[in-house]
Structure 1
Amino acid sequence: MKHIKHIEGGVTAPKGFKAAGLYAGIKKQKKDMAMIYSEVPCKAAGTFTTNLVKAAPVKWDMEVVYNSPAAQAVVINSGVANACTGAVGMEYCKEMAEVTGEELGIPMDSVLVASTGVIGKQLPMDIIKAGIRNLVPILGDTLDDGTIAAEAIMTTDTKKKEIAVEIELGGKTVTIGGMCKGSGMIHPNMCTMLSFITTDAAISKEMLQAALSEDIIDTYNMVSVDGDTSTNDTVLLMANGMAGNPEITEKNEDFKKFLDALNFVDTYLAKKIAEDGEGATALFEVKVINALDKEQASVLAKAIVTSSLTKAAIFGHDANWGRILCAMGYSGAQFDPEKVDLFFQSAAGKIQLIENGMAVDYSEEIATQILSEPEVTTIADVKMGSAEATAWGCDLTFDYVKINADYRS
């Protein structure tokens, strides 16, 4: 997309946004608290987990996004998820917002909160409150401040995930920045995934929510690491209008440009989550092409990317295409197996495995070379129409079991 410029940075890249991260003491050693703050009140949009079991911060943020006049700050902790914690957990969200509001001099109902980590434990509020008070004085607008915040929200993630882009709207430079975390308990329909997007675009609350709700369908909701939909999934999008562009109040050309840029940011972050799946050695991308419609393509792509047997085969660099066709068959989508063409592709090349549902004469050695790359794509052509969908996941390794067998300890 020519009008989108990928720049260095994350949540502090847009005008007026500051961030900070630090070690508060919730976890044993790593940084465990972060904050994002806008100099002026923001329009806020959000999307949240579809899991019936919703963590306290999810409920708090839903209230702020849907009913508060503005949002101006987000305070995040890792180490404890504040999920399945009852009325006490909700009270702790309120206390986090209260202390943050007091320290920043902003209304309590303009503070969003997010937590990630172990389910069922209560937050250590003495540590949390001290962490908030220590975060506020070190808030900064440099790229490093954004990076430190991105590092502070990690749990089993092995690397920080952040991005920033620039576009032009109405003759003004508009910036969108983002950071996220997610490595395990990741499955389509909002996953343990937290994502925070900041922008200095002037856009109405209605159009901001419309853009986010539309975009997650093809980005975060097409990611799966392990088939588990988390209790804490949250994507928050804050717009402070400081770019000074003509406010976007309808689905016009500027809205489309903004949506394209948001899609670039969210796709990048979604792929980074899949790539960093717990124990993963490869990003596994699945493209279903020439489908009857988008829904059919999405269902088939998700079925393949979530198949444990297929993911294990990717880890073993084994071109076991029968597992892919099997996953498509139990997906619930209707298609003709005897028309399917299947390919593997990576930086090492592209190879066709089946044509019209039957194996072709291919080299297992070349297939293994293609599957040995850190990014592997499966392409399934169902020859029914012109729709397509892409899903992202990762291979299934020994380390995934190790990480999750003793996560609490």
Structure 2
Amino acid sequence: MAAKQHTLPQGFQTTGVTCGIKDSGLPDLSLFTSDTPATSVGVFTQNQVVGAPVIVSRGRVPSPSVRGIIINSGNANACTGEQGLTDAQRMTAILAEQFTCDESDVLVCSTGVIGHFLPMPVIENGIRDAFKQLGKSSEDLTKAAKSIMTTDTVEKISSKQIEIDGTLITVTGVAKGAAMIAPNMATMLSVIMTDCQLETSLADSMLKQAVNQSFNCISVEGHTSTSDTVLLMANGATGQGCASEQLQQALQSALNEVCSDLAQQIIRDAEGAEHFVRVEVSGLENEDDARRIAKVVCESPLVKTAVTGNDPNWGRIVSAAGYAGVPFQEQDLSLRLNDVVIYEWGSPTSFDESALSKSMATGEIKIQLEFRLGNEKMTYWTCDLTSEYIRLNADYTT
């Protein structure tokens, strides 16, 4: 089957190369660049321990004039002190030299093992080499997406095109992530690009809304990373802006769709995962309560291992909801698993456990927790917890 073709927005170029960070020899450095200065905003990890690239990039956005983003994989440049900051800044300076722009107009991300200094000579050569290979094709985008991978097994790319006042607008994003994934983001990186024209304040609010409904709604094991970053670049290459609320909503919808698609691709590629789990929580008084319950259910080891075994052990799900810190009575809750009602307003129901287990074995799981306390709802995505996940993370550095 031919690889899916993705479209870069106008005025963007990307590439990915092997510069020598990874012992495996796999691609490990990517560039995402705009032919003209681009409005850029970002959302970053909420961990108190952050990588040096997070410090550098977080200090440079929002910005109206970013030209490029460098991402290296195989080394997170986290917990590396002043040397790590110097190295991250040096990476941006090298790319800025190629553009002849200010280094503050370049952003940087790193992902990989924590606590190791970057091999700067090979990275510096890699940035210069990558700049010469920048291109606008789907293949160039795929190279960039592959080069930011660590334990990912597949590249993650999503594109959406919409028409605004007769102009075709493209929103395209890439992401990486397979573990150390938790709500409020985790070991995941994403770059979103659009050729629409946006002011920094609008771009900032739009990105935060999209992230809140996507990357902040996924969990593999609940561990928030030092490095997670989502960056948006809008270069206005089409000359089309969002002059009305209706046009803003159209672009917001496209941005939400791309981010949601990328977030779900991360969960489907989670380390060792055999099941993709959709958790829908509805009928709560407020969004925070819905989020809290969804998060706890997603991160429960007992729920996740029951899913691994195709075991419709609904008591684990109900009890997880009960310790989420949201007040409710048992009779306020019903539960469906793969559209089968197994717990209804505080009481168990009769169902065919064997048939339900077989439906779980397809690898697609839908958990629906319905309350009758309000109108707020929330959807999260997670995966099961397998012995392969444990093996991968037990041997990660040794």
TM-score (norm 2): 0.97
C-alpha distance in structure 2 between counterparts of 1:294 and 1:335, whole Å: 15
**Partner residue in 1 for 2:396:** 407
Does the CA contact (< 8 Å) of 1:187 and 1:221 recur in 2?
Answer: yes
Determine if contact 2:34/2:67 at 8 Å carries over to the other structure: yes
Equivalent residue for 1:257? 250
Q: Which amino acid in structure 2 is aligned with residue 248 of structure 1?
A: C
Summarize deviations over 1:313-370 as a string: whole Å, max 9, x none.
111100011110111011011222223111111xxxx311111122111111111012
1:361 partnered with 2:350: yes
Where 1:216 maps in the other structure, the secondary structure is helix
Cα offset, 1:300, TM superposition: 1.0
- For 2:336, the equivalent position in structure 1 comes to 343
Written as runs of structure 1 = structure 2, the 5 A alignment for 1:362-381 is 362-381=351-370
Distance in structure 1 (CA, Å) of the matches to 2:110 and 2:364: 30
Deviation of residue 25 (structure 1)? 1.0
Partner of 2:97: 102
Hey, what's the Cα distance between the residues in 1 that align with 2:65 and 2:388? 43
* Corresponding position of 2:37: 41
For residue 64 of structure 1, give the secondary structure of its aligned residue in structure 2. coil
CA–CA separation in structure 2 for the residues paired with 1:272 and 1:300: 23
User: Is 1:65 aligned to 2:61, yes or no?
Assistant: yes
**Pick aligned residue for 2:376 from 387, 391, 406:** 387
Contact 2:64 2:200 in 1 (8 A): no
Aligned equivalents of 2:64, 2:194: Cα separation in 1: 18
For 1:297, give the aligned amino acid: A
Q: Does 1:78 align with 2:73?
A: yes
Cα displacement (A) at 1:105: 2.6
SS at match of 2:260: helix
Give the Cα–Cα distance (whole angstroms) in 2 for the partners of residues 253 and 264 of structure 1.
17
C-alpha displacement of 1:285: 0.9
What are the within-5 Å matches in structure 2 for residues 181-220 of structure 1?
181-220=176-215
Q: Deviations over 1:370-398 (max 9, x none)?
A: 21122211001112222210001100000
The answer to whether the Cα contact below 8 Å between 1:344 and 1:370 also exists between their aligned partners in 2 is no
Q: Percent identity, please.
A: 38
Instruction: Provide the secondary structure at the position in 2 that maps to 1:263.
Output: helix
Figure out how many residues of one structure are paired with residues of the other and give that number.
395
Instruction: Report 1:226-245 matches (<5 A).
Output: 226-245=221-240
Cross-structure match for 1:269: 262
Equivalent residue, structure 2, for 1:3? none
After the TM superposition, which of the residue ranges 227-236 and 69-78 deviates more from structure 2? 69-78
Q: 1:88 aligns with which of 78, 83, 102?
A: 83
- What's the CA shift for 1:69? 4.3
Q: Distance in 2 between matches of 1:393 and 1:275?
A: 8
Tell me what 1:310 maps to: 303
Distance in 2 (CA, whole Å) between partners of 1:61 and 1:339 is 45
Counterpart position of 1:5: none
CA displacement at 1:30 relative to structure 2? 1.3
**1:9–1:163 Cα contact (<8 Å) kept:** no
SS in 1 for 2:60: helix
CA RMSD of aligned residues (A): 1.4
Distance, in Å, in 2 between the alignment partners of 1:244 and 1:129 is 34
- Whole-Å Cα distance in 1 between the matches of residues 191 and 360 of structure 2? 33
Ranges in structure 1 where 5+ consecutive residues have no aligned partner? 1-7
Q: Which amino acid aligns with 1:280?
A: A
1:191 partner SS: coil
Q: Is the 8 A contact 2:220 2:267 kept in 1?
A: yes
Measured in 2, the distance between the counterparts of 1:344 and 1:211 equals 33
Quick one: which amino acid aligns to residue 227 of structure 1? G
1:255-310 superposed Cα distances (whole Å, 9 cap, x missing partner)? 11111111000110111111111110111110012222222111111111111110
Q: Which amino acid is the alignment partner of residue 375 of structure 2?
A: S
How far, CA to CA, are the matches of 1:386 and 1:313 in structure 2? 29
Indicate the residue corresponding to 1:4 in structure 2.
Answer: none
**Kept after mapping to 2: 8 A contact 1:224/1:305:** yes
User: Aligned partners of 1:161 and 1:94: how far apart in 2?
Assistant: 27
SS of 1:20 mapped into structure 2: strand
Kindly provide the amino acid, as one letter, of the partner of residue 301 in structure 1. A
2:214–2:260 CA contact under 8 A, matched in 1: yes
* Conserved? CA contact 1:192–1:231, under 8 Å: yes
Q: Which runs of 4+ in 1 moved over 6 A?
A: none
**Partners of 1:45 and 1:371 in 2: CA distance:** 40
Q: Where does residue 19 of structure 2 map in the other structure?
A: 24
* TM-score normalised per structure 1: 0.94
Question: Distance in 1 between the 2:194 and 2:329 partners?
Answer: 45
